[in-house]
Amino acid sequence: MKVVSADVMQVPSADPSFSGNSKGSTEDWSPIVLRLNTDAGISGFGEAGLAYGKGWRGGLGMLRDF
């Protein structure tokens, strides 16, 4: 079994005004999800640990480079 592709997805965060909180940025919490796909049809999901605060940008860039 071999990994044949990886899908890196940035999950958009909710509009802060939706929850009644008018402060902050929509970029404060932006999880990065990774899906690995194999030649056997098996997929697995994971989340980048740097997805919180402004660190999600680094996690997204690193996963895309891999």
Q: 8 by DSSP, 3-state: which?
A: strand
Contact between 50 and 32 (Cβ < 8 Å): yes
What is the number of structural domains in the chain? 1
31-59 per-position pLDDT tens digit: 788 999 999 999 999 988 765 567 777 87
Confidence of residue 17 (pLDDT cuts 50, 70, 90): low
Look up the domain containing 7 and give its range.
3-65
Question: Domain of 16: which CATH number?
Answer: 3.30.390.10
For residue 29, the 8-state DSSP code is: B
Contact between 44 and 14 (Cβ < 8 Å): no
Confidence of residue 19 (pLDDT cuts 50, 70, 90): low
Give the pLDDT confidence score for residue 53 in this predicted structure. 66
Integer Cα distance of 66 and 64 in angstroms: 5
The reported pTM is 0.63
